[in-house]
Amino acid sequence: MNWLDFSVSGIIFIGFIVIVLIISTNYFSNKISEIKANEISRSSEAYLSHLTNYGVESDWDIKNQKPVNLGFGREIYFLPIYINSTNNKRNYDVFRVDVEFDNYCERKINTSSIRLFNRTLKEINYTMVNQNFCGEYIKNASVIFYDNLENDKYYLYYSSEPLIYANYTLDYNLSLYIDFDFIHGNWLFDKTENENNGFLTNGNIEAGKFQNSLRLNKNGILNISENKKLNSSIISIDFWLKINEYDDSIIIEKAGSYGIRLGRSPEYNKIVGYIHGLPESHQPLSPSIELNEWNHIVFTSDGNQHKLYLNGLLVNTTTYSSPIPIVSSPLSVGGDYNQNNLFDGNVDELRIYSIVLSDEAVFNSNISIPSQTIKYPEIKDTMISINKIKNSKKIDFDYFKKILGNKYNFRIEVYKN
Amino acid sequence: MRFGLFVIFLLLFLLFSNFTESQEITLQCFVATSCSYTDVFHISDIEDAHAEMNSQNNYPYKVCCRLSNGMNINVAERQSNGIIGFSYTTNAHAEMGNQSNYEYRIEMIPESGEIICELSYSCASYNTCLVSISDETDAHLGDCETNPYQRKICCSFGGLDITINSNSTKVEYGSDFKIYGRTFKAGIPFANAPVIVELDGKTECNMNTNASGEYECHIKSPKRIDNLNITATVFDQINMKSKTTSIQVKTYISYGYEKDKSDVVCVERPKIIQNEDGTIDIVMFNLCLWK
């Protein structure tokens, strides 16, 4: 081998080594990139799971604290409510659902977070009565809402997220609705937002036209204290009635204002609608009513035209100007408020409106069966809290980077697809 | 050879100029004793004339219209407005389209697009003069040349148009953004025109365009993550017409560093959210990570 051969073979060898090095460097560099990508990809999944969780403490934003562990998640609860209105022919109706938001005072449910939606997630106006609190957070309440009976499923959402208070107004003409299905102590609850709850003395609840009814036995009375919503110059009283004994008795009366009673002798077996000051000759009188049978009674008056309906049909109309007195007085069922003229029979599904019901509305009320409300078990989910994201902006990002291991920079973005 | 090139350039030029002309469609109307194009209505004389519908055949003078691209124009009767109204089907007095005293009213409807007509003392900024008219109602008519009345019914092809833009199609939660655009009537900027900008059906701005037909509306994004549907509607009160256009603006909320590197890994998951206004929605939670 001479020098020339040596040089050529040396160059070829060096070239070969260089090519091998380049290939292997590229290979290893790609491998390293791949490993890095896999590592960051795995980390991103871990970060994602971490950041969509609640954090520690889970309500760090509400307490205005720096979290020990960062998380933007928050518990949200929803209560499915099913309403069967198949045989309810009214244009709308009122629903009352008793809800335990936080029975053990652990969840810190914010009243502002409570929203009711129908199945298409359209917001439904509601109000709450009988509210009990755990400090500033809600414990339980009765949620009252109206709807046009086209929906059957509703969802009540609530969480500890502080939101903008919804300013709902319920503008309906139903002043009182007591179905007499449940008694709480001596109280029978009005299903409307007006809280015209009745206190029962010496009466009881027994099987009625629909579920239970109010049983009065000439010694009992239901008293509903003065409430402005019942002081109306226009009224409709709508209820089911079963008479056990004919007598000169009062069935429903708003003292000094309006009422319904049995006819005076010899017409004890008839129903009379009356307005205080309206001559007896102009008080609409029904045909005879059998004992121990359920009848649907509606009395409407605008102070000029007074109508009485029996089982969905108009049976008597009188016209006489006698404005309904607007007086501050209680409403009693089963006698007058002094417990005179006591009634022997049953009353069910009592509704009082501040409008005159149309003939069609009365007919529909007569053929309606009350809607059934079924409350399904509560469902818990995790949502992303806007409040936590907003509050995190007040804290130095390097702090969060540090508590997440100081390894990566990150950015979250929440948007709708 | 040079002559050949010249011919080719000339042909190309003619082709191009013809093409550009066809982009700008104009309306041409004239009064004649017969119509080769659309017969809109008839008048008894070229001045101080009564009018009749084109279904009648009592008057010698026809008001004829054509579009420069040869597109067909239909003349239709309508209950209100239109380009002109008549007291009867023949031997009629006339009134402007925006009046409402007469029962017989007509409109010109091209195969596509719109034709608008308005009362003006000069038709210089319109395509054509239809007829001249003695008053806004109870009026006689004349052509636009012989001895025209001061008032003229001026018409153009091209209806209302409105453009809509946003300074950003992706807006950070709770921040302001700007919606702006221009309005046109018959291709000309529509000055002082009423414009309403609505966000999801709720009015955000109710204003008039400036002299260049431009409008601008500043909106504070609602407190929710959403794809906002924003519409802008311009109204032509003279012709009782309106035109609406829309744009979508995304609202989002973010936290973290701005992404300044290319080797960023992003992951996202659908998540439930309750917006500050209480609405419930499904959104994407997107996380990006980098070293």
Q: Give B3-13 pLDDT, tens digit per residue.
A: 555 555 544 44
Q: What is the CATH number of the domain that holds B166?
A: 2.60.40.1930
Among B102, B125, B126, B127, residue whose Cα is nearest residue B41 = B102
User: Cα distance from B266 to chain A (closest Cα, Å)?
Assistant: 7
Separation of alpha carbons B153 and B127, rounded Å: 11
Q: Which of A76-80, A406-410, B200-204, B209-213 has the lowest mean pLDDT?
A: A406-410
Together in a domain, B227 and B121:
no
Candidate from B225, B266, B275 with C-beta closest to A415: B225
CB of A284 within 8 A of CB of A261?
no
Which residues in chain B are contacts of A384 at CB distance < 8 A? 271-273, 283, 285
Average pLDDT score over residue span A143-147: 95
Greatest pairwise CA separation for chain A in angstroms: 149
Count of structural domains, chain B: 3
Candidate from B170, B252, B289 with C-beta closest to A414: B252
Candidate from B254, B257, B265 with C-beta closest to A41: B265
User: With bands split at pLDDT 50, 70 and 90, how would you rate the model's confidence at A47?
Assistant: confident
Residue A335: Cβ-neighbour burial (10 angstroms; 0-12, 13-18, 19+) = buried
Which residues in chain B are contacts of A47 at CB distance < 8 A? 287, 289
Together in a domain, B141 and B169:
no
CATH class for the region spanning A174-354: mainly beta
Q: What is the pLDDT of residue A153?
A: 94
Among B268, B258, B274, B181, residue whose Cα is nearest residue B226 = B274
Mode of pairing for the β-strands spanning A379-384 and B265-274:
parallel
User: Cα distance from B165 to chain A (closest Cα, Å)?
Assistant: 20
The CATH architecture annotation of domain A63-166+372-380 reads Sandwich (2.60)
Q: What is the pLDDT of residue B29?
A: 96
In one-letter notation, the amino acid at residue B242 is S
| For residue A257, pLDDT beyond 90 | yes
Give the number of beta-carbon pairs within 8 Å between A and B: 149
B287–A51 CB contact, under 8 Å: yes
Separation of alpha carbons A274 and A322, rounded Å: 10
Q: What is the pLDDT of residue A269?
A: 94
Q: Give B106-118 pLDDT, tens digit per residue.
A: 999 999 888 989 8
How much is the CA Rg of chain B, to the nearest whole Å? 27
Separation of alpha carbons B154 and B151, rounded Å: 9
* Tokens coding A98: 């008793």
Q: Give B219-232 pLDDT, tens digit per residue.
A: 998 889 999 999 99
A397–B283 CB contact, under 8 Å: no
Together in a domain, B43 and B103:
yes
User: Cα distance from A245 to chain B (closest Cα, Å)?
Assistant: 54
Tell me which residue range forms the domain holding B282: 258-290
Separation of alpha carbons A207 and B151, rounded Å: 84
User: Cα distance from B227 to chain A (closest Cα, Å)?
Assistant: 7
User: With bands split at pLDDT 50, 70 and 90, how would you rate the model's confidence at B16?
Assistant: very low
Residue B214: its H or E element: strand B214-220
Which residues in chain B are contacts of A416 at CB distance < 8 A? 225-227, 250-251, 281-284
> b/e map of A44-60 (b: 16 or more CB within 10 Å)?
beebbebbbbbbeebbb
Together in a domain, B68 and B135:
yes
CB of A251 within 8 A of CB of A241?
yes
CB of A97 within 8 A of CB of A373?
yes
**Listed residues B157, B175, B190: the one ending a domain:** B157
Nearest CA in chain B to A45: B267
Together in a domain, B88 and B210:
no
Which residues of B fall below an 8 Å CB-CB distance to A?
170, 173, 223, 225-227, 250-259, 263, 265-267, 269-291
Together in a domain, B210 and B124:
no
Q: What is the pLDDT of residue A336?
A: 93
Other C-beta atoms lying within 10 Å of the C-beta of residue A391: 20
Which residues in chain A are contacts of B262 at CB distance < 8 A? none
Dihedrals φ, ψ of A46, to 5°?
A: -65, -45
**Listed residues B134, B157, B180: the one ending a domain:** B157
Q: What is the pLDDT of residue B165?
A: 97
Separation of alpha carbons B218 and A127, rounded Å: 35
Q: Is position B164 within any domain?
A: yes
Candidate from B276, B279, B288 with C-beta closest to A410: B288
Write down the ipTM of this complex.
0.77
Separation of alpha carbons B289 and A46, rounded Å: 11
Q: In angstroms, what CA-CA distances link B192 with A259, B127, B189, B214? A: 63, 21, 10, 9
Dihedrals φ, ψ of A341, to 5°?
A: 50, 50
Together in a domain, B121 and B198:
no
Sign of CA dihedral A257, A260, A263, A264: negative
Q: Give B36-90 pLDDT, tens digit per residue.
A: 999 999 999 999 999 999 999 999 999 999 999 999 999 999 888 889 999 999 9
Q: What is the pLDDT of residue B159?
A: 83
Q: Give A69-87 pLDDT, tens digit per residue.
A: 889 999 999 999 999 999 9
Together in a domain, B80 and B190:
no
Q: Is position B1 within any domain?
A: no
Dihedrals φ, ψ of A104, to 5°?
A: -105, 15
Number of alpha carbons in the 13 Å side-chain half-sphere of residue B6: 3
Interface probe for A, chosen from B282, B289, B290, B291 (most Cβ of A below 10 Å), is B289
Separation of alpha carbons B275 and B281, rounded Å: 8
Together in a domain, B39 and B120:
yes
Q: Which of A19-28, A341-350, B148-157, B256-265 has the lowest mean pLDDT?
A: A19-28
Among A219, A282, A225, residue whose Cα is nearest residue A245 = A219
Together in a domain, B27 and B143:
yes
A383–B289 CB contact, under 8 Å: no
A415–B251 CB contact, under 8 Å: yes
3-class DSSP state of A387: helix
A123–B278 CB contact, under 8 Å: yes
Q: Is position B5 within any domain?
A: no
Which residues in chain B are contacts of A48 at CB distance < 8 A? 267, 269, 285, 287
Residue A128: its H or E element: strand A126-134
| For residue B19, pLDDT beyond 60 | no
What mean pLDDT value characterizes chain A? 91
| For residue B215, pLDDT beyond 90 | yes
Q: What is the pLDDT of residue B291?
A: 81
CB of A249 within 8 A of CB of A238?
no
| For residue B22, pLDDT beyond 50 | no
Together in a domain, B54 and B131:
yes
B291–A45 CB contact, under 8 Å: no
CB of A335 within 8 A of CB of A249?
yes
A414–B275 CB contact, under 8 Å: no
Together in a domain, B231 and B181:
yes
Dihedrals φ, ψ of A33, to 5°?
A: -60, -40
Domain ranges in chain A are 3-55+384-404, 63-166+372-380, 174-354
Candidate from B227, B253, B259 with C-beta closest to A386: B253
Candidate from A45, A384, A410 with C-beta closest to B256: A410
CB of A300 within 8 A of CB of A236?
yes
